[in-house]
């Protein structure tokens, strides 16, 4: 969907795909996985994506640019209103994106997300208990044939905290959830790690 923006005093037309390409060209802790996220979303007709943890919109644009191509929709949730971030604001009005601000464990917030999705992407608190609760609450929404993706499975410290030796909490939560449900997860190669469960 084309968007009119002002750049250096002149109106320019851009698309969410242009935004995605721009994010691909700049370092971020998820840069290595952006092509994979985009291609995964493109592999579904009218993809339905549920993303928890938008931050500066890098993963959002990877998913949103695919949804704009295949007629899908992206629902994103974050504890802060990322639509006010200048890096996200240009995309906040696109019709293929629904942003919900709030605690994703609040039943009122959960009720605003779709009951079934093709892709569930989790990149929120990175804390063991919260991540395990999110898995229990949101994994049942992944449709058969869908995929769940989890960023920072190799993370040994987050948010400026000191490193925790051999104790990435996202990985621990995935291990615990899979032990409960009989599912298995794989860790895709890369510095920060991306967990994957295929349903």
- Judged against a pLDDT cut of 90, whether residue 90 lies above it is answered with no
Task: Give residue 12's pLDDT band: very low, low, confident or very high (50, 70, 90).
Answer: very low
Tell me which of 47-56, 169-178, 186-195 is least confident: 186-195
Distance CA 151, CA 145 (A): 20
* pLDDT of amino acid 88: 83
pLDDT value at residue 168: 82
Query: Cα torsion for 199, 110, 94, 119, to the nearest 10°?
Result: -10
* pLDDT tens digits along 117-136: 999 999 999 899 999 999 99
pLDDT score for 55: 87
Please state, in angstroms and rounded to a whole number, the distance separating the CA atoms of residues 127 and 79.
Answer: 14
Domain ranges of the chain: 17-198
Interacting residues of 129 by C-beta distance below 8 A, sequence separation 6+: none
- Mean pLDDT, rounded, of the chain: 88
Q: What letter does residue 181 receive in the DSSP assignment?
A: H
Q: Which residues contact 189 (CB under 8 A, 6 or more apart)?
A: none
Q: Which CATH superfamily is domain 17-198 in?
A: Vaccinia Virus protein VP39 (3.40.50.150)
Task: Read off the pLDDT of residues 134-161 as tens digits, 9 standing for 90 and up.
Answer: 999 999 999 999 999 999 998 654 444 4
pLDDT of residue 41: 98
Sign of CA dihedral 98, 21, 28, 5: negative
**Residue 114 pLDDT > 70:** yes
Mean pLDDT calculated for residue range 8-13:
45
Pick from 33, 64, 63, 23: which is nearest to 151 by CA? 33
Residue 14 has pLDDT above 70, yes or no: no
């Amino acid at each position: 969907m084309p968007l009119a923006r002002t750049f250096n005093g002149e109106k320019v037309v851009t698309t969410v795909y242009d935004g995605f390409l721009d994010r691909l060209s700049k370092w971020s802790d998820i840069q290595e996985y952006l092509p994979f996220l985009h291609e995964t979303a493109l592999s579904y007709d009218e993809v339905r994506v549920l993303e928890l943890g938008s931050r500066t919109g890098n993963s959002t644009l990877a998913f949103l640019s695919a949804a704009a191509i295949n007629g899908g929709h992206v629902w994103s949730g974050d504890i802060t209103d990322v639509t006010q971030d200048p890096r996200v604001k240009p995309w906040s009005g696109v019709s293929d994106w629904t942003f919900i601000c709030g605690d994703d464990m609040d039943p009122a917030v959960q009720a605003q997300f779709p009951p079934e999705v093709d892709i569930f992407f989790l990149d929120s608190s990175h804390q063991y208990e919260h991540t395990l609760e999110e898995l229990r609450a949101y994994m049942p929404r992944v449709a058969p044939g869908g995929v769940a993706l989890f960023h920072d499975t190799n993370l040994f410290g987050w948010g400026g905290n000191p490193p925790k030796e051999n104790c990435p909490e996202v990985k621990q939560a995935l291990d615990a959830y899979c032990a409960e449900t009989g599912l298995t997860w794989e860790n895709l190669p890369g510095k920060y790690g991306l967990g994957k469960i295929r349903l």
